[in-house]
């Protein structure tokens, strides 16, 4: 670790960098803030990042971007340290990025893959030593390029996640009235049930079974409001074993029974047209 190696410049100065294994020590220290920026790439292990803006999980490939004056702490589970590359730096180049919204302490974690590729890139930055203002500027550009590429890769990863969630929801929608809708959706996407369920929950923010129930109830509301089908017919159409279970599920989600919901919607429609007359 090249601790204390300072390259002074108002545009860019690298203050400290290295490869260390740490964490897993409890009790936890209080949150702190830095007087400079830092990036931390976890290459082995995982844990938790906390700041004044919230909490995020960390794993191998997580890149943390730390900001001056922002309270934070990050730590591994008790007795399970992680390995990280880190660079501490300051400079007006990065102040400009922050002010422009290209960097934000509200979104401090970027997930990068493959981990080995990004570890080698960060290692290369750390190994470069600079002498003179020209080399210092090149060093700043290397770091900016790394961060810009990481931001782009993280954005692409989020786009990929959004596309996958859209496909997964559509697959569930195709089997909405089937009790095995989630399992069938997993099959459609070539995944095992547990892998599909975990990935959906992580990326969509809710369990796939809950998503299916919500969509069923939305379809039930549409049919109750816009069709003349009986409650039994709607229950059959949506895959419920009988009207009782349908009514119980509908009331749990909507707060009223199917018959009461239908009555309210029809009363609202009648009042609307009466006011238009």
Beta strands across the sheet bearing 47-51: 54-58, 47-51, 72-75
Q: What average pLDDT does range 211-227 have in this prediction?
A: 89
pLDDT, one tens digit per residue, over 204-217 is 888 999 999 888 98
> Cα separation of 120 and 117, whole Å?
5
Whether 100 shows a pLDDT value over 90: the answer reads no
pLDDT, one tens digit per residue, over 197-206 is 998 988 888 8
Quick one: angle between helices 258-276 and 208-226, nearest 10? Answer: 50
pLDDT for residue 206: 86
258 touches 231 (CB < 8 A): yes
Average pLDDT, the chain: 85
13-159 under CATH 3.90.1260.10, yes or no: no
Domain 210-276, CATH: 1.10.10.60
> Cα separation of 138 and 135, whole Å?
5
User: Which H or E element spans position 38?
Assistant: strand 37-44
User: In which residue are the tokens 């009207």 written?
Assistant: 243
SS3 content of the chain, % helix, strand, coil (to 5): 50, 20, 30
| DSSP letters for 118-166 | HHHHHHHHHH----SHHHHHHHHHHHHHHHHHHHHHHHHHHHHHHHHHH
User: Which H or E element spans position 273?
Assistant: helix 258-276
Collapsing DSSP to helix, strand or coil, 80 comes out as coil
Whether 15 shows a pLDDT value over 70: the answer reads yes
pLDDT for residue 55: 87
Whether the upstream peptide bond of residue 175 has omega within 30° of 0, thus cis, is: no
pLDDT, one tens digit per residue, over 155-188 is 755 666 677 888 899 999 999 999 999 999 999 9
pLDDT > 70 fraction of the chain, expressed in percent and rounded: 88
More confident residue, 40 or 133: 40
Residues linked to residue 43 through DSSP beta bridges, in sequence order: none
Question: Where exactly are the structural domains of the chain?
Answer: 13-159, 210-276
pLDDT, one tens digit per residue, over 27-50 is 677 888 899 999 999 999 988 999
Report residue 66: phi and psi, to 5°: -105, 145
User: In which residue are the tokens 């990935």 written?
Assistant: 199
Nearest CA to 61 among 143, 3, 140, 119? 119
> Cα separation of 163 and 271, whole Å?
42
Confidence band for 132, pLDDT divided at 50, 70 and 90: very low
């Amino acid at each position: 670790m090249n601790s204390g190696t300072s390259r002074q410049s108002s545009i860019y100065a690298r203050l400290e960098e290295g490869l260390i294994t740490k964490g897993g020590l409890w009790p936890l220290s209080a949150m702190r803030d830095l007087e400079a920026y830092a990036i931390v790439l976890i290459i082995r292990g995982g844990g938790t990042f906390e700041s004044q803006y919230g909490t995020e999980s960390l794993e191998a490939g997580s890149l943390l971007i730390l900001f001056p004056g922002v309270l934070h702490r990050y730590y591994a589970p008790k007795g399970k340290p992680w390995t990280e590359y880190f660079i501490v730096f300051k400079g007006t180049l990065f102040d400009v990025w922050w002010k422009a919204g290209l960097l934000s302490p509200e979104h401090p974690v970027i997930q990068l893959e493959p981990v080995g590729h990004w570890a080698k890139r960060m290692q290369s930055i750390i190994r470069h030593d600079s002498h003179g203002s020209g080399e210092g500027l090149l060093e700043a550009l290397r770091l900016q390029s790394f961060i810009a590429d990481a931001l782009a890769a993280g954005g692409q990863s989020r786009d990929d996640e959004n596309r996958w969630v859209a496909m997964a929801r559509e697959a569930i929608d195709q089997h909405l009235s089937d009790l095995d809708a989630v399992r069938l959706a997993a099959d459609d996407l070539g995944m095992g049930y547990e892998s599909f369920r975990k990935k959906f929950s992580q990326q969509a923010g809710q369990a796939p079974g809950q998503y299916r129930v919500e969509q069923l109830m939305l379809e039930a509301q549409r049919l109750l409001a816009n069709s003349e089908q009986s409650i039994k017919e709607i229950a059959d159409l949506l895959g419920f074993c009988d009207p009782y279970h349908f009514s119980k599920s509908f009331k749990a989600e909507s707060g009223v029974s199917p018959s009461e919901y239908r009555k309210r919607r029809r009363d609202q429609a009648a009042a609307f047209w009466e006011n238009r007359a």
